[in-house]
């Protein structure tokens, strides 16, 4: 009798990194077919289809929406950094406002 063991390295998240999944989904939204993506990358068509459905609910973005999404993802780290700076500045001013 054979026993199957669960191994954490067999999980999808470990086998394929988040960056690869995002790249494949982005290329799909830019117009590439699932079959072409499966041929270029290792995951099978069913896995790629699941990632797309999980990410977008199955909806396909047109070119302008894909460009906007790419721009916003690129802009997001800068916005987070600006927010952190503003929080630190607000905290500094809150502690030093009575020193006038």
Element (H, E) at 84: helix 63-96
Question: Considering only CA atoms, which of 63, 39, 62, 37 is closest in space to residue 49?
Answer: 37
- Give the C-alpha separation, 4 to 78, whole Å: 46
Q: In the 8-state DSSP scheme, what is residue 8?
A: G
How far apart (Å, rounded) are the C-alpha atoms in residues 33 and 45? 10
Give the single-character DSSP code of 54: H
Q: How far apart are CA 96 and CA 14, in angstroms?
A: 48
**What's residue 5's pLDDT?**
44
Paired tokens of 28:
């799909």
The model's pLDDT over 21-77, given as tens digits with 9 standing for 90+, comes to: 889 988 888 888 999 999 998 888 998 888 888 877 656 677 888 889 889 989 999
How large is the C-alpha radius of gyration of the chain? 21
On the question of pLDDT at 9 being above 60, the answer is no
């Amino acid at each position: 009798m054979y026993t199957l063991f669960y191994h954490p390295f067999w999980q999808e998240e470990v086998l394929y990194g988040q960056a690869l999944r995002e790249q494949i989904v982005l290329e799909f939204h830019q117009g590439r077919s699932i079959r072409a993506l499966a041929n270029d990358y290792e995951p099978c068509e069913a896995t790629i289809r699941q990632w797309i459905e999980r990410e977008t609910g199955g909806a396909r973005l047109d070119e302008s929406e894909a460009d906007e999404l790419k721009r916003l993802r690129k802009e997001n780290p800068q916005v987070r950094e600006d927010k952190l700076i503003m929080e630190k500045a607000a905290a500094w001013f809150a502690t030093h406002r009575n020193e006038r």
